[in-house]
Amino acid sequence: MKRTFNLLLLFCMSIPVFAQQVEFTEYDLDNGLHVILHQDNTVPVATIGVMYHVGSKDETEGRTGFAHFFEHLLFEGTENIERGEWFNIVAANGGSNNANTSQDRTFYYETFPSNAIEIGLWMESERMLQPIINQIGVDTQNEVVKEEKRSRIDNAPYGKISYATGINKHLFKKHPYKNSIIGTMKDLDAAQLDEFKAFFEKFYGPNNATLVVAGNFEKNEMKKMVEDYFGSIKRKPEVERVKVKEEPITEAIVKTEYDSNIQIPLKVHVYRIPGMSHRDSYVMSMISSILTDGKSSRLYKRMVDDEKVALQVLAFPRPMEDYGTYVMGALPMGETPLDKLAEIMDDEVEKLRTELISEREFQKLQNKFENRFVSSNSSIEGIASSLATYNVLYGNTDLINEEIEIYRSITREEIQEVAQKYLQENKRLDLDYLPESDKEQK
């Protein structure tokens, strides 16, 4: 009976999960705006999103935080939207909206009932064409950003790990990835109004943006509306992309960071990996899943369940356009020394480097990524975000349907090879993340 059950389990795990193809149309307006339309008349809503190819890496030294600041500033108002009215207009029309910034891009989006879709197009065209950038707005959003920094990083437990401010500055010496996305208050306080206006003129043109509309509409009508609202916006000078190369890490970077918000220390190993479109970055996502994704993962089972030396384990890749980072760590149980945690993490990494994962574990891994792929396109907002991201950061919108084939093609041997290539002790940041009280005792 047990053998029959096991065979049945293996069979079920091997059944492929098929995601429905996401159909889309993409084209460029004369001004360079890239447009992606995904028509789905089975839903009652539509998401309108604009992704600008500008993030924290595009800022100049001494003026960090501008890209994230604009995530807030461009909600202040436009020539035709009064200050403070943006969110009221969205709410009054049954919609929702948000924005987010990374090292590489900024994404604004609204989701409306399909009968209000034109309002979203109008608002995003207003944001692109004629936002009001004045001292009142800058001063207001400066206070908002300061509070966000305090709540998410300065006063949040392990905030410098979550937002990488205690990590990237050690891994990157030249590339602007070394800077915090949220920037420093010193830089933002020192910036003049003309600098904010210049930043907008440099990066927020139609030829540095991708417009995505996903949901319930008729394609031909949408094309006309897109042309009506965005076609007359003038092209801006082409953006010069960051082309900074980092020297390889050849000797372990040993550092200590302190956090006044924690009582339990954290042992962290961080490796620099290739950019998000590189095949090895996909393999590293699978390696991360093997180590800590779920209670049956290798590090969790050994460190938390079996040996009971850790309260929790973590491992996650941070994919970025030019480079990525791979973070792994553990919180000690009781008086367990951090060196003990490091020893076990290294031991499990060494197993990946020297032994092929089993066929059973590999099939389970493939199944996870199939399910993850299906889930990523399960909502209109998710589809809109994926379409924009694949175009802006990967240069290939078709990946919304084809990316799963990359994961399917990864082999057990490749997992071992990539672990050997990147997960080396002399190529990492070795970080002790300690309570502030530990510093005071030294």
DSSP string computed for 227-278: HHHHTTSPP-PPPPPP---PPPP-S-EEEEEEETT-SS-EEEEEEEEE-TTS
DSSP string computed for 394-411: HS-TTHHHHHHHHHHH--
- Three-point CA angle 334, 337, 341, nearest 5°: 100
| Average pLDDT by stretches of 10, the chain with 442 residues | 35 42 97 98 97 97 95 97 97 97 98 97 98 97 94 94 96 97 92 96 98 98 98 97 96 97 98 97 96 92 97 94 97 97 98 97 94 89 97 98 96 98 97 91 64
Report the C-alpha gap between 164 and 327 in whole angstroms.
10
The DSSP H or E segment spanning 122 is: helix 117-129
pLDDT tens digits for range 15-52: 333 457 999 999 999 999 999 999 999 999 999 999 99
pLDDT tens digits for range 204-247: 999 999 999 999 999 999 999 999 999 999 999 999 999 999 99
DSSP string computed for 290-320: HHHSSTTSHHIIIIIIIS--EEEEEEEEE--
pLDDT tens digits for range 371-403: 988 888 889 999 999 999 999 999 999 999 999
Res 442: pLDDT = 59
